[in-house]
Amino acid sequence: MAEQLPLEGIRVIEFTHMVMGPTCGMILADLGAEVIKVEPITGDNTRKLLGSGAGFFPMFNRNKKSISVDVKDPRGREIILKLVAGADVFSENFKSGTMDKLGFGSEALSKLNPKLIYVSHKGFLPGPYDHRTALDEVVQMMGGLAYMTGPEGRPLRAGTSVNDIMGGMFGAIGVLAQLQQRARTGKGGEVASALFENNVFLVAQHMMQYAVTGVAANPMPDRISAWAVYDVFKVKDGEQIFLSAVSDTQWEILCKEFGFDDLKADPRLVTNNDRVKLRDWLIPELRERFKDFSAAELSSRFEKTGLPYAPITKPQDLFDDPHLLATGGLTPVTIAADNTGAGKEIETRVALLPLTLDGERLQLRNAPPKLGADTIDLLKEIGYSQTEINQLRDDNIIRTQLQH
């Protein structure tokens, strides 16, 4: 990697929690920005989530600093305003109106710092729905994604926080665009990203399918596939594997490799579109032919011939994926078992951004911060004396790592 990361020198003040806002900040931080995460005295509630939420904080808050401040107190708000005065970006993902009540709305902060880029991550862009409380699952249901994911009559959310993560990505893209615009004009600007609109973008291909064909898209389990051989097969010992042959050339390779001369010679199966029309017959036929093969043998033979295939992998299995390990897609990190920074620590690996710059991955520089880890340093930087810091801590206006 070059000596200087692309966003070095950019300071981001982050008022976010959960996934969407933190994803935006993580991307900017990985690109080199100094991202200062503002947390309440008790810490970001995301630190305390259990179950499927236990991975949110350690995944989306790396490479950031933490300052713990009671922003409901005027002295706490003053600290944030002093930080914003020298910042480049302010990022938030709280309910509409929350930042305005605290004095941290876009209009107020742009008067304080005209060069500031203000990015908001919301459930909906301004309009008839913007008063609603949105979650990833809510917009998946109302935006067509759950309908497309589950079988007919059984809407099913996607298996990860797709809108939160992708919405944060679009927030970061907007920030990068506004930074470029600011370089030309000298003025800051606003960015808005929203879960619902993000979800609509994800399903827009199915909207266009309807526009082009006049036929509504079926849910993915019941869809008419664009490719004849493109499915999960149950094979020897109950194992499962995804196998595909998406072109006429791949179909010929498949038939040759497994000795399916009769299928290759069948005049009903000459082209992919021919095979798609007979998919209801062809897939069961292939299931019967593959059922006595082991997943390992099928993997080997598909790999050898260059045919697309995939094992059915669980997320925890990816920690040991040979490709990720060989290419540096995972990097070691030490995280707190309870996400608060106190108690037991865990040595593990975390996925890096799925891109390279000049052939290299953007690296982990700092593990997710302990609560208030950078409070003292940041306060000193903006002019607070140690005596003032001690008083603020004694009055429970700030929290520092020394309190743990």
89, 11 in Cβ contact below 8 A? yes
**Co-location of 196 and 230 in the same domain:** no
Domain endpoint, select from 265, 280, 311: 311
Question: What is the CATH classification number for the domain harbouring 255?
Answer: 3.30.1540.10
Count of beta carbons in the 10 Å neighbourhood of residue 172: 26
Q: Which amino acid is at 329?
A: G
**Co-location of 349 and 246 in the same domain:** no
Count of beta carbons in the 10 Å neighbourhood of residue 37: 27
Q: Would you give per-residue pLDDT tens digits along the chain (404 residues)?
A: 557 999 999 999 999 999 999 999 999 999 999 999 999 999 999 999 999 999 999 999 999 999 999 999 999 999 999 999 999 999 999 998 999 999 999 999 999 999 999 999 999 999 999 999 999 999 999 999 999 999 999 999 999 999 999 999 999 999 999 999 999 999 999 999 999 999 999 999 999 999 999 999 999 888 778 899 999 999 999 999 999 999 999 999 999 999 999 999 999 999 999 999 999 999 999 999 999 999 999 999 999 999 999 999 999 999 999 999 999 999 999 998 776 666 688 999 999 999 999 999 999 999 999 999 999 999 999 999 999 999 999 999 999 985 54
Domain endpoint, select from 311, 343, 360: 311
Would you state the pLDDT for residue 223?
76
**Co-location of 71 and 114 in the same domain:** yes
Nearest CA to 84 out of 30, 157, 11, 32 is that of: 11
**Co-location of 195 and 231 in the same domain:** no
**Co-location of 118 and 57 in the same domain:** yes
Q: Which amino acid is at 395?
A: D
Would you state the pLDDT for residue 404?
43
User: Based on the structure, what is the number of domains in the chain?
Assistant: 2
Domain endpoint, select from 311, 340, 370: 311
Model pTM score: 0.93
Domain hosting residue 166, numbered range:
11-202+330-403
